[in-house]
Structure 1
């Protein structure tokens, strides 16, 4: 469902470190364009992720017409924590390396002026979000993919590496983890069945892609009230190497060792494995993930 909203004042959350420093440049261009469009702008730059989230939440509670986020998927995740179920729409100014949220919501990438125009135009779409509940009861919202297994171990390793920069760091971490891949015993509780499987990875999608366009859940629909689950069963390392190029087109789901499911609620259990959401570490399994319909309002020209 699409509605029109008058956008007169916007809080702009800027991550100056996004995209190897591109965030600040993109933020300045977007802010200038919004002001050209006669939108009043309040800029927010947090000292860390928690501070940024608090500032974003304060802006929403203070009555801004929209929250715009300048950065990559991690920055947008901060905005989601503040905007989820608030009714205040979020706008995206992509400035990261992956930009999977922008890809999912049809926001122009590499053109902060065009992205700012989408915000100023005020076309609001509704989208589901995935609500993750950890073992301690805390809640994290996710817009794209919740990952566990090989891919979360790769992300963990990449986050510990200081070199190389950008996507090459992720690729190197993948090669290291690939050399020591092992079966991970997952218990997956769905609405109507429980699956126990030795898996390489399990991905739960509100959206389709992660890692800069890897369509791990290619048929996910962010408006259907359901989560898509992709399970890659453990097999020979050579089979895994052949699988990953196919993920960019989403054709890996046609392989016999890849299983897919659809469920409103998913509970994941696997000893010693962390969950990642939108590229950031959430916490250790087990976690419960639930599709929450229309939890997000987003400024977008893309059809819902």
Structure 2
């Protein structure tokens, strides 16, 4: 039988670049002999529903064509299913694709890599929300200053990426105040005011901001980065170091690792994979090697 590939597409992603890329990829896959079914999500909830529907048909791979938000929805379908996940970057941030070495390529090249079928296992994070709802995420959960910036950026009427993120940072600095966090990491507790906390399975968010620099997606642990309270002047000067990960050496930054992390505090709302999750209390638990990621270098 010919290989069966499911394409999950967010047509609006990347200023509609995803729609164009999905058509080219579909044609390349079919030209290579694959049977292709395209699922087009019109919203986050619709994409999540379609991901589960696609996986129920037991394809040889589910391919997410879009940004980190679409990958997040695809993840809800593939965890525990045995269906490999491929990521074709067509969004603005593409942090998950970057973490797995997936760059821009021709449709033919992407089709060849998908059909080669080589995979590597990745951990994911099971997130429990205050109402008991469980979601999975692949990259970083953010609470505090960065999450509030994300909330602002999501309401912008123009494209995001690093430029949009910086505009959001400037806007949030006008009103932000340190948050009284309580963070439990495998029984170890951090209880003090801080600027932000990030729980990462991979290292970056926001289009390449390495907030959890050094995090690895297959080590069975979560990286927790806590930025202690600082004057706004120092915070403004030091926050740009997140762009290259050099903030990890600051006295204000505490880096811990663990398998289970619970965040409490009046932090507003948390974001995971760039998607709005809800306010603390938020519990993160690593699920080792829960997803097979298709190797883009095949």
- Determine if contact 2:110/2:296 at 8 Å carries over to the other structure: no
Matches within 5 A, 1:179-258: 179-258=174-253
Q: Distance in 1 between matches of 2:291 and 2:49?
A: 18
Q: Distance in 2 between matches of 1:39 and 1:214?
A: 37
Work out which of the residue numbers 6, 9, 25 in structure 2 matches 1:11: 6
Which TM-score applies when normalising by structure 2?
A: 0.95
CA apart distance, 1:23: 0.9
Q: Distance in 1 between matches of 2:106 and 2:237?
A: 34
- Determine if contact 1:92/1:115 at 8 Å carries over to the other structure: no
Q: Does 1:36 align with 2:20?
A: no
Listed as ranges, the gaps of 5+ residues in structure 2 are none
Q: Distance in 2 between matches of 1:7 and 1:88?
A: 16
Matched residue SS, 2:270 = strand
Work out which of the residue numbers 163, 172, 180 in structure 2 matches 1:177: 172
CA distance 1:175–1:7, shift in 2 (3 Å): farther
Work out which of the residue numbers 41, 47, 62 in structure 2 matches 1:52: 47
| Matching residue of 1:26 | 21
Matches within 5 A, 1:1-304: 8-109=3-104, 111-162=106-157, 164-167=158-161, 168-301=163-296
CA apart distance, 1:144: 0.4
CA apart distance, 1:170: 2.6
Instruction: Please give the root-mean-square deviation of Cα atoms over the aligned residues, in Å.
Output: 1.7
232-241 or 282-291, which deviates more: 232-241
- Determine if contact 2:143/2:267 at 8 Å carries over to the other structure: no
CA distance 1:124–1:139, shift in 2 (3 Å): same
102-111 or 229-238, which deviates more: 102-111
106-115 or 8-17, which deviates more: 106-115
Q: Distance in 1 between matches of 2:156 and 2:220?
A: 37
- CA deviation string 1:113-150 (max 9, x = no partner): 43333211100110000110011110111100000000
101-110 or 202-211, which deviates more: 101-110
CA distance 1:276–1:175, shift in 2 (3 Å): same
- CA deviation string 1:200-245 (max 9, x = no partner): 1100000000011111111111111110000111212222223233
Q: Distance in 2 between matches of 1:100 and 1:49?
A: 18
Matched residue SS, 1:260 = strand
